[in-house]
Chain A
């Protein structure tokens, strides 16, 4: 059923190898991020009693390394491609072929994720093992949890990209807003354990919590035993809601497409 999308996946996978320079810069950029995080949290923990919201300096560094890796996987560029295809009119080519545009986007995403994992994230993780004493996840549930995160994040990215159809191909502002919300409420900025109650109440009703907070907590063992199933259940809930929303929005958008140029 999906075999026709295999080619799309492969193209995206190979594309990564074509821009090797970018990839080295990206890896360097993430090591610098880790360095900045190291300095700032070192200073913060030095000013504290040594334990903050259940974190020690060492566990915070592991948390932040995981955040860098997950952000790498979940903040994506599919929207850019969608934006470009709408603006240039290339979108028309997808609509006349017997393939589904959303599924094409999905497999393009998978292709670029696989290359990111092999080319960028694995060297980063291998180094992180020594730098921050990264250990194996506490529970193997981490892996299915990350896959569910990817499904939620893909739908969010896809819906952001759909905005291109309504704005003559300018999604920049909406994309930035989504990234900001995701950064704050997913636990990427600071672990949600630090949040005051009212901010946590907001985070709890947003899908972002299911993207980063849940898998990382499972990895570190903060979510374990009987709390794993409800958390993964929440992720499945968000996958269903977000996929449903994407489907409805795409069906609605499809009807009003108006192609520029060509």
Chain B
């Protein structure tokens, strides 16, 4: 069977699985779409009290929120097979053995096994709505060039998120419950919800180089808004994505060598 046909087969199985519990899928999708409401309310209230935040207006900050929602939605919808939760469960319950016996290498196999999760569409849809509305507020014109750039950046951001998940998931080879680390990652990701301009130098460096969550929404958003710490950094987003994935993959291979089944 060709690779493409296999990917398609896995994808369709995932779609059918999602449609098995239709009510749950609907509730999940709506709930995820609503997760962006608190940020909108927060900034809307804040900006009715102050004119700008370090030179950023409400439209620009919400545009960043929109990019973040699109990126996380893309990760959640198509890459959740390699999420930290998924990998932790596989290792803890001894199901990794089953995957290791398959003729595919592990990461592509995991990615295909979880290649569609309908809930994530909630984030993608609300992200698109936010970007549409804020583009009108900011007078942003969309053409074929910047829309394809947006797609490329969002995909890269999704890969960055997936790489973080993979790294934390790999830790499950040593730490039985790595779930708390994912919550920690999501807390750190909240740094990126605000323009990096508000942080001090060492925090800026940390969010750019060490834990590059700045590349999930802040740096990519710069190119469309034409402002930020260093606008051309936006073009580094795909590069950062490739580096992060390479690191995650190396770490995974290293972890897999240390794998001993929990045997159940």
Q: Are B42 and A174 in contact (CB under 8 A)?
A: no
How many residues on the B side are at the interface (Cβ–Cβ under 8 A)?
A: 41
Residues of A within 8 A of B41 (CB): 184, 189-190, 199
Contact of B50 among A28, A29, A47, A199 (CB under 8 A): A47
Give the distance to chain B from A38, nearest Cβ to Cβ, in Å: 10
Give the distance to chain B from A55, nearest Cβ to Cβ, in Å: 11
Q: Are B177 and A176 in contact (CB under 8 A)?
A: no
Q: Of A19-27, A212-220, A242-250, which binds chain B?
A: A19-27
A248 to B50, CA, bound (A): 47
Most chain A CB within 10 A, of B34, B45, B200, is at B45
Say if the beta carbon of A52 comes within 8 Å of chain B: yes
Given contacts A21-B175, A48-B50, A195-B45, whether A189 and B203 have CB atoms under 8 Å apart is: no
Q: Are A44 and B46 in contact (CB under 8 A)?
A: yes
Residues of A within 8 A of B23 (CB): 167
Contact of A170 among B21, B52, B181, B184 (CB under 8 A): B21
**B4-38 contacts to A (CB < 8 Å):** 21, 23-24, 27-32, 34-35, 37-38
Contact of B37 among A43, A180, A190 (CB under 8 A): A180
Residues of A within 8 A of B187 (CB): 29, 32-33, 36
Given contacts A43-B54, A47-B50, whether A21 and B177 have CB atoms under 8 Å apart is: yes
Given contacts A44-B53, A183-B38, A190-B45, whether A173 and B183 have CB atoms under 8 Å apart is: no
- Provide the B37-61 mask, 1 if CB < 8 A to any CB of A, else 0: 1100110011011111110000000
Say if the beta carbon of A81 comes within 8 Å of chain B: no
Residues of B within 8 A of A168 (CB): 21, 24
Given contacts A29-B183, A40-B194, whether A190 and B42 have CB atoms under 8 Å apart is: yes
Q: Are B119 and A173 in contact (CB under 8 A)?
A: yes
Residues of A within 8 A of B38 (CB): 180, 183-184, 189
Identify whether the interface residues of A are mostly helix, strand, loop, or mixed.
helix
Residues of A within 8 A of B200 (CB): 39
**B166-202 contacts to A (CB < 8 Å):** 175, 177, 179-181, 183-184, 187-188, 190-191, 194, 198-200
Give the distance to chain A from B181, nearest Cβ to Cβ, in Å: 6
A67 to B93, CA, bound (A): 36
A196 to B49, CA, bound (A): 11
Chain B: which residue is nearest A183 at the CB level?
B38
Given contacts A168-B21, A173-B27, A180-B31, whether A42 and B45 have CB atoms under 8 Å apart is: no
Most chain A CB within 10 A, of B23, B35, B198, is at B198
Give the distance to chain A from B197, nearest Cβ to Cβ, in Å: 8
A119 to B234, CA, bound (A): 42
Given contacts A180-B34, A180-B35, whether A189 and B42 have CB atoms under 8 Å apart is: yes
Given contacts A22-B177, A43-B198, whether A170 and B49 have CB atoms under 8 Å apart is: no
Say if the beta carbon of A177 comes within 8 Å of chain B: yes
Q: Are A33 and B53 in contact (CB under 8 A)?
A: no
Give the distance to chain B from A139, nearest Cβ to Cβ, in Å: 28
Chain A: which residue is nearest B54 at the CB level?
A43
Say if the beta carbon of A194 comes within 8 Å of chain B: yes
Q: Are A25 and B181 in contact (CB under 8 A)?
A: yes
- Provide the B111-150 mask, 1 if CB < 8 A to any CB of A, else 0: 0000000010000000000000000000000000000000
Say if the beta carbon of A53 comes within 8 Å of chain B: yes
Give the distance to chain A from B84, nearest Cβ to Cβ, in Å: 12
Say if the beta carbon of A143 comes within 8 Å of chain B: no
Residues of B within 8 A of A94 (CB): none
Residues of B within 8 A of A52 (CB): 49
Contact of A173 among B28, B184, B188 (CB under 8 A): B28
Chain A: which residue is nearest B20 at the CB level?
A168
Give the distance to chain A from B180, nearest Cβ to Cβ, in Å: 4
Instruction: Please name 7 pairs of A and B residues whose Cβ atoms are closer than 8 Å in the assembled complex, sorted by A.
Output: A25-B184, A32-B187, A36-B191, A43-B54, A172-B24, A189-B42, A190-B41
Ranked 10 nearest A-B pairs via Cβ: A173-B27, A173-B28, A43-B198, A25-B180, A22-B180, A47-B50, A176-B31, A173-B31, A170-B24, A29-B187
Apart from A25-B181, A48-B49, what 15 extra A-B contacts exist at CB < 8 Å? A21-B177, A21-B180, A25-B183, A26-B183, A29-B187, A32-B188, A33-B190, A40-B198, A44-B53, A47-B51, A48-B50, A173-B30, A177-B30, A177-B34, A194-B49
